[in-house]
Amino acid sequence: MSQSGGPDRGGTFLSQDSRVRGPDPPLFRPGAGCDGRDVADRPVGTRATHRRDPAPPTHRAPAAPASAERARPPVPRTDVTFPSSGLTLAGHLYTPDAPPAGAPAEPAPAEPAPAEPAPAEPAPAIVVGHPMTGVKEQTAGLYARRLAERGFVALAFDAAYQGASEGEPRGLEDPFQRAEDVRNAVTYLADDPRVDAGRIGVLGICASGGYVPFAAQTDHRMRAVATVSAADVTAFFRDADPDGFRRMVEESGRLRTEEAAGRPLVTVNAVPDTVDEATPAPVREFFDYYRTPRAQHPRSTGHWLARSAELLAQYDAFGGVARIAPRPLLMIAGTRALTLRFSEGAVARAGETAELFLVEDATHVDLYDRPFAVDRAVDRLTDFFAEHLAA
User: What is the predicted pLDDT for the residue at 240?
Assistant: 79
End-to-end CA distance of the chain: 39
Global confidence as pTM: 0.79
Domain definitions of the chain by residue range: 8-27+43-52+65-98+122-388
User: What is the predicted pLDDT for the residue at 273?
Assistant: 87
Does residue 199 surpass a pLDDT of 60? yes
Q: What is the pLDDT of residues 125-180, one digit of tens each?
A: 999 999 999 999 999 999 999 999 999 999 999 999 999 999 999 999 999 999 99
Does residue 72 surpass a pLDDT of 80? no
- Spell out the residues 6+ positions from residue 298 whose beta carbon is closer than 8 angstroms to its own: none
Does residue 68 surpass a pLDDT of 60? no
Average pLDDT over residues 23-28: 30
User: What is the predicted pLDDT for the residue at 1?
Assistant: 34
User: What is the predicted pLDDT for the residue at 41?
Assistant: 36
User: What is the predicted pLDDT for the residue at 376?
Assistant: 98
- Mean pLDDT, the chain, as a whole number? 82
User: What is the predicted pLDDT for the residue at 12?
Assistant: 31
Q: Comparing 14-18, 60-64, 283-287, which segment has the lowest mean pLDDT?
A: 14-18
User: What is the predicted pLDDT for the residue at 21?
Assistant: 30
Strands 267-269 and 222-228: unpaired
Going by the DSSP 8-state scheme, the letter that residue 154 receives in this structure is E
Quick check: 322 and 349 in contact, CB under 8 A?
yes
Quick check: 387 and 330 in contact, CB under 8 A?
no
Which of 188, 129, 117, 195 is CA-nearest to residue 162? Answer: 129
The CATH-assigned architecture of domain 8-27+43-52+65-98+122-388 is 3-Layer(aba) Sandwich (3.40)
pLDDT over 90 for what percent of the chain?
66
Does residue 18 surpass a pLDDT of 70? no
Does residue 101 surpass a pLDDT of 80? no
